[in-house]
Amino acid sequence: MKKNIVIIAGIIIIVTTVVLFLSLKKKGHGPSLVAGSSISGLLSQAKEFETKANFIEAKNKYQELVNNHSGSNEVMNWQKKIDELNIKLLFSTTITPNSQLYEIRPGDTLVKIAKQFKTTPELISKANNISGDKIFPGKKIKVWTAPFNIVVDKSQNILMLKTNDEVIKTYIVSTGTNNSTPVGTFKIVDKIVNPSWFKPGAATPIAAGNPENALGTRWLAISLPSYGIHGTNDPMSLGKQVTQGCVRMLNADVEELYTIVPKETEVTIVD
């Protein structure tokens, strides 16, 4: 009799366990569904926040995906979305921990405000949808307050835009052939829109817009004569060591970087 009771009790425990397992699995808590449900749920939330232009929350959700599902094949795509959202935040009126509202005062200009906060007039204009140079006293605008720095990794041919140790965006670049890009810490000392290019051995410069101009649409000179960060007339060369020592970027990317970083921005180049 006791043996029968034990057998019946065992059957009840087994049946209860199976029913509980199937119930949890159906609700998405079974071991085979946990990861997939979590990823799809976070992705759905991220896209919804992005649709509503809530870039901070959208970024947080993509960061959760990167942190919690580092083994996924989609990690690189999620990281690219974080980069994209960082730039959207920079270029939007959204106030972040590295920015603040500033009330324009009589006598202010975009250049004067940019100098005060060690940012760029272009970034102030972009973030506040300001067209031209005209600004009005009493109006409150967003200004970026944290310093940027740039790290170029020659081994990977990437350029990282950073602030307070956070990577804002990673760009694919080209560096010098035969490892000729100098290593060290420098500063941006000059910024030029549509630079002319002095081709080695040529008597006259090649004007901006000429297909033969290797500098593309922007030039960011660093504190080592003749070296800098610039655009390109050969986008297919990106990701390789093919330049004469400078750091080469896609024109759209170097234009973005030009807007963001002011003179005196630190540039570190590593092997």
Q: Where in the sequence numbering do the catalytic residues fall?
A: 230, 246
| Count of Cβ atoms closer than 10 Å to residue 229 Cβ | 26
Q: How far is CA 142 from CA 50, 99, 236, in A?
A: 21, 7, 37
Distance (Å, whole) CA 261 – CA 240: 24
Spatial neighbors of 243 by CB under 8 A, at least 6 apart, are 174, 175, 176, 177, 180, 181
CA-CA-CA-CA torsion sign (118, 120, 123, 127): positive
DSSP letter at 163 equals E
Proportion of the chain in helix, strand, coil states, percent, rounded to 5? 40, 25, 40
